[in-house]
Amino acid sequence: MFSLLSRVLGLSRTERDDAIILKKEAVDSFRLHFKIKTLVEEIVTIEEELEQDRLEFERRSGKSLRNTQAEGMLRHQEEELVKKLNELKVLLRKSEIEEHHMESCINEIKKFVTQNKVKEKIGNNLDLAA
């Protein structure tokens, strides 16, 4: 399918290979954004659970969590949240790098398309001149 399309568009083998790579990078970028979305949802869930646990304990005991054993349990959940936040930061940095790379690839494609249009116009003008 892709080779037929590349023939119709008049792409060279290198240009076709570049387009295939760009498609793969777009799919990878989509997967990365999905991972980030999933991670953010997990973080929100952990934060909500942490707050519910704290409120439930305070309601049952009539005491603040600041001075109790349950603080250890909540610390563990907080550590898990920090880990998830760190993972998110790494994924966001990677996403920004990939987004920049994708923008440069798109600009290259735009240049290529523009060059082909110019070549086509020049070819049409030469045909008319002949």
What are 42-88's pLDDT values in tens digits?
Answer: 888 887 888 888 788 777 777 665 556 666 777 777 788 778 777 87
Evaluate whether residue 56 is within a structural domain. Answer: yes
Domain that holds residue 100: 17-129
What are 91-121's pLDDT values in tens digits?
Answer: 777 777 777 777 777 777 777 767 766 666 6
How many domains in the chain?
1
Evaluate whether residue 4 is within a structural domain. Answer: no
- At residue 78, the pLDDT reads 77
What are 14-52's pLDDT values in tens digits?
Answer: 777 777 777 777 777 778 778 888 888 888 888 788 888
Full DSSP string of 58-94: HHHHSS-GGGSTHHHHHHHHHHHHHHHHHHHHHHHHH
- At residue 11, the pLDDT reads 64
Evaluate whether residue 2 is within a structural domain. Answer: no
Evaluate whether residue 75 is within a structural domain. Answer: yes
Evaluate whether residue 46 is within a structural domain. Answer: yes
- Measured CA to CA, the distance from residue 122 to residue 130 in angstroms comes to 12
Evaluate whether residue 5 is within a structural domain. Answer: no
